[in-house]
Amino acid sequence: MEPRKKPSKEISRRKFVKTAAAAAVGTTALATGCKQDIGGPNIISNKTFEWRMVLFWGKGSKVLGEGAQNLATWIETMSQGRLHIKVYGANERVPAGGVFEAVGQGDAELGHCASYYWAGDVKAAQFFAAVPFGMNAQQMNAWIYHGGGQALWDEVYEPFGVMGMPAGNTGVQMGGWFNREINAVDDFKGLKMRMPGIGGAVLNRVGAEVVNKPPGELYSSLETGLIDATEWVGPYHDYLMGFHEVAKYYYYPGWHEPGTVLELIVNRKAFEALPADLQEIIRTAAFRANLSVLSEFEAKNNDHLKILVDQYKVDLRRFPDEVLKQLKIYSRETIENLCSGDPQSRKVYDAFSAFQKTVNAWGTVSERAMHELDGI
C-alpha cells in the first residue's frame, strides 16, 4: 500500500507498523571483567553470556519495542559486555503469542510483553497486567514492589519455569476507537472489538464480540469493517497507528486498563545460572525500563491528544456515567466468575483488591485531593 501524503512532522502509519515488524539486528558483545558491589561479596568474572529476548511487539515500535531494546542495552552496558542480549521483534523468532512459552522452554531467555496475553494458559497472570476499574500505574508499582504482589507473581509463574517483573507501564489508557456511538451499554451488543484481558471478558459479557488481532492488523481491520472498534494504548501510540483515519469516535476513560504493567519474562533456570551481580543488573534495568516507559507515555500523550483533536478534528467523547456504572458492575461479575473457578486467581485477586482499598483510601487525601485543587 502506498503511504498517504501527510505533514512532514508526522510519522506515517504504514512506516510505523512496518518499523514495528522489522527484523532484529544483533550487536556484538564485549568480553570484559566486571567488579560489582551489591551488598555481598564482590564478584569478579570474565565469563560472558549470550541471551535472546523475544517481543510481543515489533522491535522498532515506539516506546514498547524501543523500551525493550533500551532494557537490553542497559543490561549490556552495566555488565560491561558480560551479558549481551539479541532482541527479536514479534514473529521474528517466535509468534507474538508464543513469547511466554518460548521463554519457559528456553528458546529465549527473556520476553517483553504484558501478562494478560497468557490468560489462556495462566488465568491468574492477567491480574499482574491490568484489572478493569483497578489500580493505576503508581498503585500497581506499590502493590508489586512493596505490597506483596511480586511474591504472588513469582508463585503463579514458578510452575512454568519463568519469572516476571515490571518493565514498563502504559499509564491510564484510552477507552478506544469506535465507528459506533456508545450511549448505553446495549450499544456494545454485537460490536466487534479488539480488547485483551479481563476487559475483553467484560465486553463479551455485555454482548460484544471480542476479536483478538495483532497490532499490525488493527488499522486494516477497522478500515475494512472486520472490526467496529479497537483499543490500543493512548493518544501517542494511537496517533502513530493512524486510527484517526479509520474510526469516527475516540472514547475515554480506559476503564479496562487504568495502568497496564508491561512485563519482562525471564527463564528461571538461565537467571539462576548467572552470577549474583548480573542478576541484580537485570532487575535494575527492568526497574529503570518500568519508569522510563511510563514517563515517555505521560510526556507525550497530551501533546498528541491535542494534535488528534485540533489538527485532525477527532470526535473525543467521554463514556456516559451510566455506561461506566454498568461496566463496573459487569466487571465485578466477570472477575467473580473467573475467581470462582480458579483458586489461584481468587488468591491473587483477593490480595489485589485488599491492597487497592488501602491505597485508594490514601489516594483520597493525597492524589485526589491535589487534583481537586485545579477547580479552586
- Neighbouring CB atoms inside 10 A of 306's CB total 11
- Neighbouring CB atoms inside 10 A of 340's CB total 10
The whole-angstrom separation of Cα 62 and Cα 301 is 13
Cβ-contact 229, 177 below 8 angstroms: yes
Q: What DSSP line would sit under 113-164, residue for residue? A: E-GGGGTTT-GGGGGGT--TT---HHHHHHHHHHSSHHHHHHHHHGGGTEEE
The whole-angstrom separation of Cα 177 and Cα 74 is 35
Q: Per CATH, the architecture of 19-172+259-299 is what?
A: 3-Layer(aba) Sandwich (3.40)
Residue 305: phi and psi, rounded to 5, are -65, -40
The whole-angstrom separation of Cα 88 and Cα 205 is 36
Low-confidence ranges of the chain (pLDDT < 50): 1-42
Domain boundaries along the sequence of the chain: 19-172+259-299
Residues near 84 by Cβ (< 8 Å), separated by ≥ 6?
27, 28, 29, 30, 48, 49, 50, 51, 76
CA angle, corner 298, sides to 296 and 299, nearest 5? 65
Cβ-contact 54, 110 below 8 angstroms: yes
| Residue whose entry in the numeric block shows the C-alpha cell 528461571 | 268
Say which DSSP state 83 is in: E
Q: What confidence score (pLDDT) does residue 43 get?
A: 54
Three-state secondary-structure class, residue 256: coil
Would residue 176 be called left, alpha or beta, if left means φ above 0 and alpha means ψ between -120 and 50 degrees?
A: left
Q: What confidence score (pLDDT) does residue 265 get?
A: 98
Cβ-contact 28, 86 below 8 angstroms: no
pTM for this prediction: 0.87
Strand 192-194 and strand 209-210: the pairing is: parallel
Q: What confidence score (pLDDT) does residue 44 get?
A: 53
Strand 83-88 and strand 49-55: the pairing is: parallel
- 307: which 3 cell numbers? 494534535
Q: What confidence score (pLDDT) does residue 214 get?
A: 81
Residue 49: enclosing H or E segment and its boundaries?
strand 49-55
Cβ-contact 300, 59 below 8 angstroms: no
Cβ-contact 191, 209 below 8 angstroms: yes
What's the count of helices (H) and strands (E) in the chain, helices before strands?
13, 13
